[in-house]
Structure 1
Amino acid sequence: MKSFLKTFFAILLSFVVIFAIFAGVAVSKIGQGNVKIKNHSYLVVDIYGKILEYNPPGGILSEIMGGEPETLQRILDNMAKAAVDKRIDGVIMRLSSSNSAGLAKLEEMRDAVKKVQAAGKKVLCFTDSMDRKTYYLAAACDSIFAPPPANFSFVGFGVGVPHVKGTLDKLGIKPNVHKIKEYKSAAEVVMRKDMSKYARENEEWMLSEYWDIFARALKNDRGIDEAKITELMKHALFTSGEAQSAGLVDRVCYWDQLEDVLKQKDDKRLRTVTSAQYASVAPAKLGLKGKKKIAVIHAQGTIGGRENKIDPLFGVMMGHESVCAQIRKARLDKNVAAIVFRVDSPGGEGLASDLISREIEITTRVKPVVVSMVDVAASGGYYISYKADKLVADPLTITGSIGSIALKFNMHDFYKKLGVTFGFVTKGPNALMMSSDKDFTKEEWQRFTENHWAGFNMWLEDVAAKRKMSVEKVTSLAYGRVWSGRQAKENGLVDELGGLDRAIDVAKELAGIPAGRKVTIVNYPRKKGFLQMVLSKSGGITAAVNWVLYRYIHQDIWQSWHSLSERSDYLMAPMKLD
Structure 2
Amino acid sequence: MAVVPLVLELDLLTPMATTPPQDPLSALRARNRTHLTDVIEGLRRGARDQHVGGLIAQCDGAAYSPATAQELREAVREFRRSGKPAVAWAQSFGELAPGTVGYFLATAFDEIWLQPSGDIGLTGLNARAVFLREALDRLGLHPELGQRYEYKNAADTFTQAEFTEAHRESLGRIVESTGDQLLEAVCKSRGIAIERVRELINSGIIGAAAAKSAGLIDHVGYRDEAYTSMARRVGGRMRLRYVGRYNQSAVKSRAMLAPVTRKRGCVALIYGHGPVTVGRSSASPMSGGSMGSETISASLRAAARDESVKSIVFRVDSPGGSYVASDTIRREVLQARRAKPVIASMGAVAGSGGYFVSMGADVVVAAPATITGSIGVLAGKMVIKKLLTRLGVRMDSVSVGEQAGMFSPSEPFTDAQWEIIDRWLDGVYDDFVAKVAHDRGMARDDVHSVAKGRIWTGADAHRHGLVDQLGGLVTAVGLARIRGGLPARNDLSDVRTFPKVSLLDRMRPAESSQSPAATSVVMRAWGPMTHLAAALGLPAAGPLTMPFSLNTAKSLGEWK
Which range, TM-score by smaller chain? 0.7 to 0.9
Q: Provide TM-score, normalisation by structure 2.
A: 0.84
Please give the residue correspondences for 1:181-200 in structure 2 after superposition, counting only pairs within 5 Å. 181-200=149-168
1:323 aligns with 2:296: yes
Match of 1:353, as an amino acid? S
Name the residue aligned to 2:382: 409
Task: Pick the aligned partner of 1:55 from 20, 23, 28.
Answer: 20
Task: Pick the aligned partner of 1:494 from 451, 467, 479.
Answer: 467
The question of whether the paired residues in 1 share the 8 Å contact of 2:280 and 2:521 is answered with no
Q: Secondary structure at the match of 1:156?
A: coil
1:90 aligns with 2:54: yes
Q: Secondary structure at the match of 1:206?
A: helix
How far 1:520 moved relative to its partner?
Answer: 4.5
The question of whether the paired residues in 2 share the 8 Å contact of 1:160 and 1:570 is answered with no
1:64 aligns with 2:51: no
Name the residue aligned to 2:85: 122
Provide closer, same or farther for how the CA distance between residues 257 and 285 of structure 1 changes in structure 2, counting only shifts above 3 A: same
Name the residue aligned to 2:250: 282
Provide closer, same or farther for how the CA distance between residues 515 and 78 of structure 1 changes in structure 2, counting only shifts above 3 A: closer
How far 1:344 moved relative to its partner?
Answer: 1.4
Please give the residue correspondences for 1:257-296 in structure 2 after superposition, counting only pairs within 5 Å. 257-263=225-231, 270-283=238-251, 285=253, 291-296=264-269
How far 1:181 moved relative to its partner?
Answer: 0.5
Please give the residue correspondences for 1:115-514 in structure 2 after superposition, counting only pairs within 5 Å. 115-130=78-93, 131-263=99-231, 270-283=238-251, 285=253, 291-311=264-284, 315-513=288-486
Task: Pick the aligned partner of 1:43 from 1, 5, 8.
Answer: 8
Separation in 1 of the partners of 2:62 and 2:82? 30
Please give the residue correspondences for 1:10-21 in structure 2 after superposition, counting only pairs within 5 Å. none
The question of whether the paired residues in 1 share the 8 Å contact of 2:100 and 2:557 is answered with no
Per-residue CA deviation, residues 52-84 of structure 1 (Å, 9 max, x unaligned), is 42123234x335346633332222122222222
Q: Secondary structure at the match of 1:370?
A: strand
The question of whether the paired residues in 2 share the 8 Å contact of 1:293 and 1:519 is answered with no
Provide closer, same or farther for how the CA distance between residues 65 and 299 of structure 1 changes in structure 2, counting only shifts above 3 A: closer
Deviating more after overlay: 519-528 vs 484-493: 519-528
What stretches of structure 2 of length at least 5 have no aligned partner? 94-98, 510-516, 536-549
Match of 1:217, as an amino acid? A
Provide closer, same or farther for how the CA distance between residues 95 and 418 of structure 1 changes in structure 2, counting only shifts above 3 A: farther
How far 1:40 moved relative to its partner?
Answer: 1.2
The question of whether the paired residues in 2 share the 8 Å contact of 1:375 and 1:398 is answered with yes
Provide closer, same or farther for how the CA distance between residues 546 and 120 of structure 1 changes in structure 2, counting only shifts above 3 A: farther
Provide closer, same or farther for how the CA distance between residues 540 and 361 of structure 1 changes in structure 2, counting only shifts above 3 A: closer
The question of whether the paired residues in 1 share the 8 Å contact of 2:345 and 2:366 is answered with yes
The question of whether the paired residues in 2 share the 8 Å contact of 1:299 and 1:345 is answered with yes
How far 1:276 moved relative to its partner?
Answer: 4.1
Separation in 2 of the partners of 1:235 and 1:439? 50
Provide closer, same or farther for how the CA distance between residues 267 and 58 of structure 1 changes in structure 2, counting only shifts above 3 A: farther
How far 1:242 moved relative to its partner?
Answer: 2.3
Per-residue CA deviation, residues 316-361 of structure 1 (Å, 9 max, x unaligned), is 3222222222212211110111111111112112122111111101
The question of whether the paired residues in 1 share the 8 Å contact of 2:4 and 2:238 is answered with no
How far 1:279 moved relative to its partner?
Answer: 3.8
The question of whether the paired residues in 1 share the 8 Å contact of 2:552 and 2:559 is answered with no
Per-residue CA deviation, residues 140-175 of structure 1 (Å, 9 max, x unaligned), is 111111222224211122211111222222222211
The question of whether the paired residues in 2 share the 8 Å contact of 1:340 and 1:371 is answered with yes
Q: Secondary structure at the match of 1:51?
A: coil
Please give the residue correspondences for 1:558-569 in structure 2 after superposition, counting only pairs within 5 Å. none
Match of 2:8, as an amino acid? L
Separation in 2 of the partners of 1:176 and 1:231? 45
Percent of pairs with identical residues: 30
What stretches of structure 1 of length at least 5 have no aligned partner? 1-37, 574-578
Name the residue aligned to 1:112: 75
Aligned length: 522
How far 1:526 moved relative to its partner?
Answer: 5.9
The question of whether the paired residues in 1 share the 8 Å contact of 2:77 and 2:108 is answered with yes
How far 1:201 moved relative to its partner?
Answer: 1.0
Provide closer, same or farther for how the CA distance between residues 278 and 530 of structure 1 changes in structure 2, counting only shifts above 3 A: farther
Q: Secondary structure at the match of 1:96?
A: coil
Separation in 1 of the partners of 2:18 and 2:234? 39
Separation in 2 of the partners of 1:192 and 1:265? 58
Name the residue aligned to 2:43: 79
How far 1:497 moved relative to its partner?
Answer: 1.6
Provide closer, same or farther for how the CA distance between residues 143 and 519 of structure 1 changes in structure 2, counting only shifts above 3 A: closer
Name the residue aligned to 1:571: 558
Provide closer, same or farther for how the CA distance between residues 88 and 530 of structure 1 changes in structure 2, counting only shifts above 3 A: farther
Q: CA RMSD in A?
A: 3.4
How far 1:505 moved relative to its partner?
Answer: 2.3
Provide closer, same or farther for how the CA distance between residues 327 and 309 of structure 1 changes in structure 2, counting only shifts above 3 A: same
Name the residue aligned to 1:524: 497
Per-residue CA deviation, residues 422-441 of structure 1 (Å, 9 max, x unaligned), is 22011122111111111100
Provide closer, same or farther for how the CA distance between residues 160 and 512 of structure 1 changes in structure 2, counting only shifts above 3 A: same
Separation in 2 of the partners of 1:266 and 1:70? 25
Provide closer, same or farther for how the CA distance between residues 262 and 172 of structure 1 changes in structure 2, counting only shifts above 3 A: same
Separation in 1 of the partners of 2:279 and 2:377? 21
Separation in 2 of the partners of 1:266 and 1:449? 67
Separation in 1 of the partners of 2:234 and 2:296? 52
The question of whether the paired residues in 2 share the 8 Å contact of 1:177 and 1:405 is answered with yes
Provide closer, same or farther for how the CA distance between residues 307 and 218 of structure 1 changes in structure 2, counting only shifts above 3 A: same
Per-residue CA deviation, residues 107-137 of structure 1 (Å, 9 max, x unaligned), is 1111111211112222211112311121111
Provide closer, same or farther for how the CA distance between residues 149 and 560 of structure 1 changes in structure 2, counting only shifts above 3 A: farther
Separation in 2 of the partners of 1:307 and 1:141? 42
Separation in 1 of the partners of 2:501 and 2:337? 27
How far 1:97 moved relative to its partner?
Answer: 2.5
